[in-house]
Structure 1
């Protein structure tokens, strides 16, 4: 655990990425999600930047650090990382991963019992925001060269969380048998 924090800090101070704003030695894995505002993490809301629970409020995680946090299993820290990125530079990839981390927070019970229904609703809204605001959004493989669309996993995320997809989106099967979310 501490290894990735040191690595994240080293990446942050190397000059290649923005410096991390968290306190060294503090575990990001132990954060518990707490709602700061009703739209936190949903574009165009940027209240995450003034959320006292956000360890990234004063600086944005770097290009490599966001992936290290995402893969660490620290779902609440990953939420704050992606929501901060979304607030500072709106885009579909960040919005998708906000939904993805809210789903993980919900599934892993990383919020209080009374907040879990709100986490679920927020996750559904985050995924729907990908469909509504960023329908051309993609993410890339580790090489940064192969793009993957995000509308299909956003659609599936809504369904997985028990939500209803709105806006005319449907899930179709392509000629090679793959699912694809489309808006006819």
Structure 2
């Protein structure tokens, strides 16, 4: 039986994908696990930048990535391949989920030392910037479990990821406990209406 699940925690995220059949590394007609990351632009993978669509090292810049296969490649495509895939779909469909997982792959590239030594601090900051964008531009976004019935706040997860990377959360965000005692990121004020549209467009 095929199955997939996402296990989330406040200060960390574990994504586990189990699937039937062969792995998906050749699903796009090339070996996605063989792709290597090379720093192209410090805004790549951080909304509202669309620079990834002009990056010659991004193999998905012309073919795109379907919504049905984006989770397959995050499980089987290697960190660099998955980053380029998620950055591409973020540029085409800017929503909180796409920004969050693009930042996750930047984080993974940094933590696994898959970037040049001189670029490590830049990639770490790119990941932090990506998580901050979730807070600034997609604060109400939720990530649902496999059943589609339980939604986890991407703002709360992004808050924790920024701290894990040694960053400082920008804005008036803080963590409180909800009615069930779960940590939840909230803000007392925020960008509203035209201000948010201008900052995040």
Q: Shorter-chain-normalised TM-score: which range? A: 0.7 to 0.9
Aligned partner (choices 88, 92, 95) of residue 96 of structure 2: 92
| Residue of structure 2 in register with 1:166 after alignment | 170
Kindly indicate which of the two structures has a greater share of residues assigned to strand: 2
Aligned partners of 2:103 and 2:130 also within 8 Å: yes
Q: For each residue in 1:133-178, what CA deviation from the matched residue of structure 2 results, as whole angstroms up to 9, or x when unmatched?
A: 1111122222334322200010001000000001111111223221
Cα distance in 1 between the residues matched to 2:142 and 2:173: 17
C-alpha deviation, 1:59, in angstroms: 2.2
Which residues of structure 1 form unaligned runs of 5+?
Answer: 9-19
Aligned match for 2:66, one of 62, 68, 74: 62
Q: Structure 1 residues 56 and 129 mapped into 2: Cα distance closer, same or farther (>3 Å)? A: same
- Equivalent residue number for residue 25 of structure 2: 5
Superposition TM-score, scaled by structure 1 size: 0.85
Question: How large is the RMSD of aligned CA atoms in angstroms?
Answer: 1.8
Corresponding residue number in structure 1 for 2:80: 76
1:73 Cα deviation after fit: 6.0
Q: Secondary structure at the match of 2:152?
A: strand
Map 1:6-155 → 2, pairs under 5 A: 6=26, 8=27, 20=28, 24=29, 26-72=30-76, 74-155=78-159
Give 1:31 shift: 2.1
Counterpart CA distance in 1 for 2:161 and 2:182 is 16
Partner of 1:106, secondary structure, is helix
Moved over 4 A (4+): none
- Higher mean alpha-carbon deviation, 31-40 vs 152-161, is at 31-40
1:28-72: per-residue Cα shift (whole Å, max 9, x none)?
Answer: 122222121221111110000010111110122112211011112
* CA distance in 2: counterparts of 1:5 and 1:73, whole angstroms: 5
Distance in 2, Cα, partners of 1:108 & 1:30: 15
Q: Normalised by the size of structure 2, how large is the TM-score?
A: 0.78
